[in-house]
Amino acid sequence: MFLQNLYARTKEAFLTADPDLKIELTRQTVSRWNAGELEWQEGDAPEFLQQPGQLDKPEIVAPAEVNERKMSKEEGRAALIHALAHIELTAVNLALDSVHRYRHMPKAFYADWMQCAAEEANHFVALRGRLREMGYDYGSFKAHGELWSMAIDTADDMLERMGIVHRALEARALDVVPKAIQRFDQLGDNKMVDILSMIGNEEIGHVCSGTRWYHYQCQQRHLEPNQTFIDLLWKYMKGPLKGPLNYEARLKAGFSAEEMKMIEMMKQGQ
């Protein structure tokens, strides 16, 4: 049986601009990967792709220029859902890029990020569906590109990509999603409660994957992971993580109690 190539497939999906087609190609790639139909031990050398395919909308602006997200107004709630949808589509691109970019890794690495791509695709589809129910769509509001910008800044070093993009930025969802669930629950939006509950549960696994391969890189380089993570926060975030932190979720996602203590000490300037 002729095997298609995993890296060619993820590159194609990554460079596809239309979100619907990107999601379709991603799901096809994941399905074929799970069926053992994709070659992963060989392939063309990776192209270090700088930008995923994207349409003219949403307009990408500086964080200070995004639409207001006041929960008291339906338009504000839609703007918040749109921001979440943009993050999830960016996360699909992140997973595709990690598979295409980082070669000669154990098979489990590609399995982790293929699963992540599939779940992030589901998150985007669910959020976009809710937007459409409200009379909006993906592209109705502005979006910022901070997450992807950091992905490019860390792309040349897999340890830094795993540490900062997944354990610092993506892990922020572990802290904020429970609060968002409470707010939508208070508004009686059961659909968003269900969607955010799914996202919150599965993001633990995604951060756990980031942690797993961050630790793998630390082990390969004989680096102590806890202090290395603190050093990365100073290098890229210029300071401690924003709080309050969801200790329970972060421990499930692979943060150690000692590491959490070091993060708190960092916040206290020690």
87 shares its domain with 2:
yes
197 and 209 in one domain? yes
Mark whether 55 and 111 lie in a shared domain.
yes
Specify whether the CB–CB gap between 238 and 153 falls below 8 A: no
How much is the pLDDT for 167? Answer: 96
pLDDT for the residue 64? 75
Same domain, 73 and 106: yes
What local confidence, expressed as pLDDT, does residue 267 receive? 76
Q: Are residues 123 and 138 in the same domain?
A: yes
Of 153, 183, 198, the residue at which a domain comes to its end is: 153
CA dist 215 and 163 (Å) reads: 9
Task: Answer for the pair 154, 164: CB distance below 8 angstroms, yes or no.
Answer: yes
Residues β-bridged to residue 39: 5
Domain boundary among 133, 153, 173: 153
Contact 81, 192 (CB under 8 A): yes
Q: Which two tokens stand for residue 208?
A: 């756990």
146 and 164 housed in the same domain? no
The reply to whether 167 and 110 lie within a common domain is no
Q: Are residues 81 and 204 in the same domain?
A: no
Indicate whether 77 and 117 sit together in one domain. Answer: yes
Per-residue pLDDT of the chain (270 residues; tens, 9 = 90+): 456 999 999 999 999 999 999 999 999 999 999 999 999 998 888 888 889 999 989 988 887 777 677 777 888 999 999 999 999 999 999 999 999 999 999 999 999 999 999 999 999 999 999 999 999 999 999 998 889 999 999 999 999 999 999 999 999 999 999 999 999 999 999 999 999 999 999 999 999 999 999 999 999 999 999 999 999 999 999 888 888 899 999 999 999 999 999 998 887 765
Predicted local distance difference test score (pLDDT) of residue 3: 63
Asked whether residue 233 falls in the same domain as residue 218, the answer is yes
Same domain, 142 and 209: no
Based on the structure, what is the number of domains in the chain?
2
Q: Check whether residue 93 and residue 173 sit in a common domain.
A: no
Segments forming the whole domain that contains residue 267: 157-270
Could you count the other beta carbons within 10 Å of the beta carbon of residue 96? 30
> Which of 153, 185, 219 is where one domain is finished?
153
pTM of the model: 0.94
